[in-house]
Amino acid sequence: MIIGTRHFFIIIGFLFLAFASDAQSPLLKRTDFTVNDELLEDALIQLSQQTAVNISFSNKLIPSKKRVTTNQKNTTIQRILDILLTNTNIQYKVIGDNISLSKRPPPPSRKFTISGYVEDEETGEPLIGANIYDPDSQLGTSTNEYGFFSLTLYEAINIELDVSFLGYQLKKEQLKLKKDLQVNIQLAASLTLNPIIVTPQDSLYGTAANLNQYNDQIAIEQIKLLPTLGGEADIWRGNYLQAGVQTGTDGVGGLLVRGGSVDQNLVLLDGVPVYNPTHAIGVFSIFNTDAIKSFTLYKGNAPARYGGRLSSVMNIRTREGNNQEFSGEVSAGLISAKASFEGPIIKDKCSFFISGRHSLTQWYIPQITSRVKDQNNENRVTGIDQNRSGSSDYAFYDINAKLHVDVSPKDKFYLSYYKGNDDFSDRNLLEYRDSFSFNIDPPLFIDATIRDTTDLGFSWGNTATSLRWNHVFTNKLFANTTLYYSDYNFQSEERFASGGFYEDGSDDYILEVEKFTLNNNNLGGKIDLDYIHSTNHYIRFGLGVSKQEFLPGAFLNSTEAIDLPILLDSIAIFDTLDVQPQIAYEYEAYIEDDFQLTSTLQANIGVRGAIWSIDNTNFYSLQPRIHTTYNLRKNWLIRADFSQSVQHVHFLTKSNLGLPGDIWVPTTQNVPPERAWQTSLGVEYQIKKFGFVSIDAYYKDMNNVIAFIQGDSSLVLNATNWEENVEIGQGEAYGVEFSLKKTSGMFRSWINYTLSWSERQFDNLNDGQPFPFRYDRRHSLKLMGQYFLGDHWNFNATWVIESGARLTLPLFEYQVRTGFGDINIQEPSQINERQTPAYHRLDIAANYSFEKGRWSHALSLGIFNVYNRINPIFYRLRQDQQLVQVSLLPFLPSVNYSVKF
């Protein structure tokens, strides 16, 4: 469209050429094969020798007198075996590069279902994504988002299930399957740091669950070991290390996935949508890692049960509380202090979890900024005796709480609550002497001391709460019903006060105040059902409704002047802009099926329907989603995706940074919903006792994306008549992602490289020509290494190397002389035509941990920005048109100490 799709399909072609030749199953190998009245055993040996494929079997398995005759030309080994083994009770299967023959068991007469939960043995927490696998039948499944599983197998006197989960010991669960069983399986945490390597055969053969999850997810415990900013471990910074994920300098700019913008990410906290998921304009997230149980990032391959955004889904689940014993954790770093407590209210039945975090920045930011303001010579007023001072301050907090009640083996209730807020303030004080003359008879001269105070304040925060009910209708049908409320609020106030103190003892006072507020809230309910028909079909379906309210911004301006020398009376001027909220209703329904077509081919196919209703206008959409995986050989996997998405909310921003004062607005009659379709193709190879390597190519086409064109320089947006101040256009993004991950041994590493393009086009911007997106970085390389030294020490480093960000800068500046004076006019370049120099940053950390009785101690020391070549956002332009770096986050130490009990 904008760039042309030719490059994308060239990328796909090279991708297949690179891997297709090496990933063939031995059953698909072709040969000419002729036998005439030969013993079956001899014929099998001849086939093995002729094709150089090892065919293993026991002599007792082969009928001693069976003879075979066949003449095959250019035929697959699979077809030849089918002919040779006709009318026998012998079956074959591929194990690596070998073919194994075994006795075909008699078909059982009945099937039974094993269902239940997989839980942590010590805490009772459900484990999300745990694997349950039957080696005999090579069938298995995984637990859903709530720890529930259902597996249907043939009747057996004794079966032994392999139950595994990352970071836990493998458990052999022995059962007698003579009837339907309901069991809860407890796993013990692993005593070592070595993760369980789940191969494609373990996780995909025989199971139709979790097909949409890629292997480049980062575990919470791994994120806590990474280098941090001031000791603040954060899942957002972990996501920035993934291939296909971009951000601005040091996190400022939010999460940008595969060429999308910051508003195109659906962030769910226990199923509740969150509008602004970051503190400190994106430097780190609102999610306290001590409160998180699991999180998953879908990079454009989200299944049909998720919708409402174009680029990605971040699904975050918080901890539910230890239902066995009381425990807690306290930690502190340079950025914040945290405390978490959990325990049973009624053992095995009811538990609680509560966690709080508060910043420590208010202890040192005012002192630092006060000194900077005092020493800033640029603030001096030439020729006037003056004294300038002031300071800035920033603070934030988060609270997470959850109550979990098991009413019965089939019913569980969860009440979740989150509250978080940021506060920023800036004060500037100026005191100086001045003289006033009044042209009256006789002339009047007054000396005065003027004291000016400018206060700027911002406050923003999220509230999210939900009530969930898990109910097991049958051993195959599971339901989760959720009622939720989400709220985002932003307030700003700019206050200017000037006092004049005159020699005659009089004084006057001027006060100017500008206030701004915006609010978004979402009240809704939904029901999600899992129907596990069999190991070949895992069906999910559900529906939901929500009421969304948008208050795009309201201003209050006031000016008050009291006791001015020349005025006899005080004056007061107030100007209030009352913006009425816009209310929309969204109705959604979906159905999807994870199913197995063959033993090597799986697919997730679904469709999502949505209705957006606002001001008596309805918008309808159907959004198909397709995800397939194909196991070429034991360790090779090909995946392909296609999806369509619709987004009914828009983001008004002038900076593309995702600032807290940027405004969410709804789809209306004049501004249609954003739409996108995306396709991707990838190859993954599992390396035994090492990790995996993968390559993915993607293409994304976006329509009805918007650009806000308000041109003033105010710190907050004016949403008055916002529909008249947006441009509607289109976008395109494509690229290739490469990942190499080593997950075992004392040294572990991760290499992610992304080659990408992203552009936008609007008819009334840039002369209608396409232009690069603000974060169109051609190259992005992210390296991560971890070294474990014994049981107590580990050392970590991350290195990010990226192309520079895009900028729009003036080509030249000239003056025009008018009757009102000289006016400076800048001639701009093409939008985002200029690019800052390449950026790279090195962070390091060392972690030490030990246990003493019930107490666990951990100390983390690190340096953020050990080496930072350049920060690509914060620049100023010199008169010679050269960019000068203005660094946001310089060389910073990192310290964190935590205690668990």
Give tens-digit pLDDT for 833-888. 888 788 888 889 999 998 888 888 899 888 877 655 444 444 444 444 444 444 44
Q: Are residues 37 and 96 in the same domain?
A: yes
Which are the contacts of 617, defined by CB distance < 8 A and separation ≥ 6? 668, 669
Confidence tier at 395 by pLDDT (50, 70, 90): very high
Looking at residue 565, what is its pLDDT? 45
Q: Does the pLDDT at position 719 exceed 70?
A: no
Distance (Å) of CA 337 to CA 394, 845, 899: 15, 19, 12
Residue 173 falls within a domain, yes or no? yes
Looking at residue 562, what is its pLDDT? 62
Looking at residue 199, what is its pLDDT? 33
Which residue would you say has higher pLDDT here, 515 or 302? 302
Residue 221, SS3 per DSSP: helix
Report the C-alpha gap between 629 and 200 in whole angstroms: 10
Looking at residue 503, what is its pLDDT? 75
Looking at residue 753, what is its pLDDT? 96
Q: Are residues 76 and 138 in the same domain?
A: no
What's the pLDDT tens digit per position in 47-72? 999 998 999 888 888 888 889 999 99
Q: Are residues 141 and 87 in the same domain?
A: no
When pLDDT is averaged across residues 615-620 and rounded to a whole number, the result is 95
What's the pLDDT tens digit per position in 758-790? 999 999 998 899 999 988 999 999 999 999 998
Confidence tier at 570 by pLDDT (50, 70, 90): very low
What's the pLDDT tens digit per position in 256-290? 999 999 899 999 999 999 999 988 877 889 999 99
Q: Are residues 81 and 159 in the same domain?
A: no
Looking at residue 892, what is its pLDDT? 72
When pLDDT is averaged across residues 79-108 and rounded to a whole number, the result is 85
Q: Are residues 47 and 116 in the same domain?
A: no
Q: Does the pLDDT at position 569 exceed 50?
A: no
Looking at residue 377, what is its pLDDT? 47
Q: Does the pLDDT at position 816 exceed 70?
A: no
Q: Are residues 6 and 98 in the same domain?
A: yes
Q: Phi, psi at residue 52, to the nearest 5°?
A: 60, 30
Q: Does the pLDDT at position 818 exceed 50?
A: yes
Q: If you ran DSSP here, which 8-state letter would residue 229 be given?
A: B
Looking at residue 219, what is its pLDDT? 79
Percent of the chain at pLDDT above 90?
Answer: 47
Report the C-alpha gap between 510 and 496 in whole angstroms: 8
Q: Are residues 99 and 6 in the same domain?
A: yes
Confidence tier at 589 by pLDDT (50, 70, 90): very high
What's the pLDDT tens digit per position in 453-475? 888 999 999 999 999 999 999 99
Burial 124-162, CB ≥16 within 10 A → b, else e: bbbbbbbbbbbeeeebbbbbbbbbbbbbbbbebeebebe
Residue 540 falls within a domain, yes or no? no
Report the C-alpha gap between 731 and 259 in whole angstroms: 9
pTM for the model stands at 0.84
Residue 853 falls within a domain, yes or no? no
What's the pLDDT tens digit per position in 420-463? 999 999 988 888 777 766 666 666 667 778 888 888 999 999 99
User: Domain of 180: which CATH number?
Assistant: 2.60.40.1120
How many other C-beta atoms are found inside a 10 Å radius of the C-beta of residue 264? Answer: 26
Q: Are residues 34 and 124 in the same domain?
A: no
Give the total number of structural domains in the chain. Answer: 2
The CA angle 181-186-192, to the nearest 5 degrees, is: 145
Looking at residue 572, what is its pLDDT? 46
Report the C-alpha gap between 419 and 159 in whole angstroms: 47
Domain encompassing residue 174 = 111-191
Report the C-alpha gap between 551 and 577 in whole angstroms: 12
Q: Are residues 115 and 98 in the same domain?
A: no
Single residue among 164, 191, 218 that ends a domain in this structure: 191
Q: Does the pLDDT at position 22 exceed 70?
A: no
Confidence tier at 382 by pLDDT (50, 70, 90): very low
Single residue among 191, 210, 241 that ends a domain in this structure: 191
Residue 131 falls within a domain, yes or no? yes
Q: Are residues 162 and 72 in the same domain?
A: no
Query: Is 540 within 8 Å of 592 (Cβ atoms)?
Result: yes
